[in-house]
């Protein structure tokens, strides 16, 4: 098992409830987290006993999930690359609704469409600095590796902004995220030339 460079959509995020800190209200602290991770416009916030959970609005996913993935794949993968992206699109279009498409992530049948988790730490500029942990459940659309990096937050922010700029006609581009993933199942695919079909192990 190793770590991989992943690009995908942050479908859900959870943020532990924090108390007022250094004159900053709970609302101000939460606002900074929402700004940092784009958790406002296309997400719904639900308050639980000990944390806030953010989920992408169903109407945004219904409208944009498949079109955004199609365009992302066209940008990310060349025709010469042997990926399962075309199979993913075909399968997603055949499924009846968004719930079924999201459920497919958990099957981890595809390298270019699987579930992935990420945990990030955001430091609010107060004294002493306040650490906020943001846990995300993501749809992986690209995963490569292995990778080992330190102090990568700023460059990953840059990668994320560049990718989102290519997909800015989609509101869902605000959910794009880049992270190092160490938990995903990587499928090793090879082409059987006699049948021209993909087989993944």
**Predicted confidence (pLDDT) per residue in 54-91, tens digit:** 999 999 999 999 999 999 999 888 877 788 999 999 99
| Total number of domains constituting the chain | 1
DSSP reduced 3-state for 88: helix
Q: Considering the domain boundaries, does residue 55 fall inside one? A: yes
The first and second tokens of residue 158, run together, are: 């840059």
Q: Considering the domain boundaries, does residue 149 fall inside one? A: yes
Q: Considering the domain boundaries, does residue 200 fall inside one? A: no
Query: Minimal CA–CA distance to 125: which of 38, 36, 42, 46?
Result: 36
Which structural domain range is residue 55 located in? Answer: 4-194
Burial of 176 (0-12, 13-18, 19+ CB in 10 A): buried
pLDDT digits (tens, 9 = 90+) for 101-125: 999 999 999 999 999 999 988 887 7
Q: Considering the domain boundaries, does residue 33 fall inside one? A: yes
pLDDT at residue 193 greater than cutoff 60: no
pTM here is 0.77
Q: Considering the domain boundaries, does residue 157 fall inside one? A: yes
The first and second tokens of residue 28, run together, are: 């101000």
Q: Considering the domain boundaries, does residue 153 fall inside one? A: yes
Q: Considering the domain boundaries, does residue 199 fall inside one? A: no
pLDDT at residue 186 greater than cutoff 90: no
Contact call for residues 29 and 132 (beta carbons, < 8 A): yes
Q: Considering the domain boundaries, does residue 141 fall inside one? A: yes
Q: Which residue has the tokens 């993501």?
A: 138
166-171 long-range contacts (CB < 8 A, ≥24 apart) are 166/75, 167/68, 167/71, 167/72, 167/75, 170/64, 170/67, 170/68, 170/71, 171/41, 171/42, 171/60, 171/64
């Amino acid at each position: 098992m190793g770590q991989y460079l992943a690009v995908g959509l942050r479908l859900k995020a959870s943020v532990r409830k924090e108390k007022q800190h250094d004159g900053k209200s709970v609302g101000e602290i939460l606002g900074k987290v929402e700004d940092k991770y784009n958790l406002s416009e296309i997400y719904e916030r639900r308050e639980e006993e000990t944390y806030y959970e953010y989920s992408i609005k169903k109407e945004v996913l219904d409208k944009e999930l498949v079109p955004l993935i199609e365009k992302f794949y066209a940008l990310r993968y060349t025709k010469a690359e042997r990926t399962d992206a075309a199979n993913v699109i075909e399968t997603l279009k055949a499924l009846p609704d968004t719930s079924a498409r999201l459920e497919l992530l958990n099957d981890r049948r595809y390298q270019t469409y699987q579930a992935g988790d990420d945990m990030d730490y955001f430091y609010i500029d107060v004294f002493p600095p306040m650490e906020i942990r943001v846990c995300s459940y993501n749809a992986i659309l690209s995963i490569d590796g292995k990778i080992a990096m330190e102090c990568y937050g700023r460059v990953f922010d840059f990668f994320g902004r560049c990718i989102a700029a290519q997909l800015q006609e989609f509101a869902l581009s605000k959910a794009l995220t880049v992270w190092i993933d160490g938990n995903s199942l990587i499928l090793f695919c090879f082409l059987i030339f006699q049948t021209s079909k993909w087989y993944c192990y």
